[in-house]
Structure formats: C-alpha cells, structure tokens
Amino acid sequence: MAKEVQRAGETPGKGVDFAHWLLYSPNGKIVLIAGAGLIGLFVVRRLLINRHAVRERARKEDLIRTQPVEKGPTITTHTARVLADKLFQAMEGNGTNESAIHQVMNELRTDGDLKLVREAFGVRSYGSTGGNSSWWAETVGWSTPMTLDDWLRAELSGEDLRMVQAHYRRMGLTL
Ligand SMILES: [Ca+2]
C-alpha cells in the first residue's frame, strides 16, 4: 500500500495527510471500508462470545444449585465461603498450590459440605494462562466460566488429581 501511495505522489504522512488520503483517494477508501468491516466483524464476534459465556455461566450455576444432597452439611455457609476462596487462591494465576487444596479437602466430611463449597465457589472465570481470571478477559473471550470441579480438573494432574478424586469418592461424589 505504501508503495502505491508514493507512486501517486501522496505520501501519507502523519495526521491530516493520512486522513485526507484515507477519505479521498480510491485506495484510501478501500482501506477505510476494509478496516471498518474488520472492526465490525471483531465486535460481532466478541458479542457472540460474550453471550455464549453468559449462557454457559447461567447453565453451570443452575447445575450447582440443583444437585441433591445425601448427607447434610457439617460446616456453615460462612465456612464454605472461606474454603471456596482458599481453593480459588490456591488455583488462581500461574501454578497451583496443591497442599492448600488437600488441606481444604481434609476439612470436608459429607457431600453436603462439598456441595456448599461448590455453591460458594460458584462459577469463576478461568483464563488460558494457568487460571488467571478476570471479568474483562471473559467478556473478550480470553477466559471461560468454570465451576469448582472444572477448575480442579484443569489445575490438577497425576497423583494430586487422584487424591482429590478420592476425597470426592469418600463423600459419594465424582470428579
Ligand atoms: Ca493456576
């Protein structure tokens, strides 16, 4: 594009020159229209991704709420919230604090406990870079809304994952 412009003797300098070239030369118009089209596509794509993320979040929140409980909880909702946040801190960002996850698992007794913690954890954005989460990353499609179970599956592997799966089984649930 730059070559053609120079041939036409209209070097698009900074600011006004470039704006003039963009608006009034045939090549400039093509660039302008193509640029606007690309931005439009980008915006539409982002909106669709965002709508998908919102729907996915609602679907997963419903799933968490509708799980039946066999044995009642032995912890309070406040404790469940504290434990859910501990788990989140252990997984958020680069790396995983496996021992913190095992510590939390050791404090849970019944499926009611685990379900309370799942509910308190809710659905949180999981980023592609080791679990960094932020609402804006989810809005532009760089992260996915994920439940506690999703997070654990994404963050743990090998022996650590098997240990947590054993805790789930002990409470009559599967991971
Ligand atoms: Ca992580």
Average confidence (pLDDT) per 10 residues, the chain, 175 residues: 52 77 89 91 84 87 85 96 97 93 97 96 84 70 88 96 96 93
Taking alpha carbons only, the member of 99, 78, 103, 100 closest to residue 89 is 100
The predicted structure's pLDDT at residue 174: 93
The predicted structure's pLDDT at residue 125: 87
The predicted structure's pLDDT at residue 14: 78
The predicted structure's pLDDT at residue 136: 72
Q: Are 148 and 87 in contact (CB under 8 A)?
A: yes
The predicted structure's pLDDT at residue 85: 97
Q: Are 113 and 148 in contact (CB under 8 A)?
A: no
Cα–ligand 1 centroid distance for 152 (angstroms)? 10
Q: Is 127 helix (H, G, I), strand (E, B) or coil?
A: strand
Cα–ligand 1 centroid distance for 15 (angstroms)? 44
Q: Are 152 and 102 in contact (CB under 8 A)?
A: no
- Tell me how far apart the alpha carbons of residues 45 and 30 are, in angstroms, rounded to a whole number: 22
Q: Which residues surround ligand 1, an ion (CB under 5 A)?
A: 91, 130-131
Cα–ligand 1 centroid distance for 42 (angstroms)? 29
The predicted structure's pLDDT at residue 45: 84
Alpha helices in 8-72 (DSSP H): 16-24, 26-65
The predicted structure's pLDDT at residue 7: 55
